[in-house]
Amino acid sequence: MNETQKKQIPLRLSPKLYAAIAAWAEDDFRSVNGQIEYLLTECVKQRKKNGKYVSESIDEPIQLDIQ
């Protein structure tokens, strides 16, 4: 695989998390896939910059209270 090809992977998201990402993507005029790629890219950049994850609690389950 060269750098211009993108790897397709299955991704499991809870309905609430998907809805939150979809709403955010719409606000940013991106597709859901584009938004997920953007978020992952930003997390990797942050980790490379300071050696830490965006949050110390990155591995803790997400509690979304989305109405």
Confidence of residue 60 (pLDDT cuts 50, 70, 90): low
Is pTM beyond 0.85? Reply is no
What confidence tens digit (pLDDT) does each residue in 17-39 have?
A: 999 999 999 998 999 999 999 99
Question: 34: which residues sit within 8 A by CB, 6+ positions away?
Answer: 25
- In terms of C-beta distances under 8 Å and separation of at least 24 residues, what long-range contacts does 5-13 make, across chains too? 11/36
Separation between Cα atoms, residue 41 and residue 25, nearest integer Å: 15
Residue count of the chain, please give it. 67
Separation between Cα atoms, residue 14 and residue 3, nearest integer Å: 30
- Domain extent listing, the chain: 15-50
Q: Which of 23, 53, 21 is nearest to 38 (CA)?
A: 21
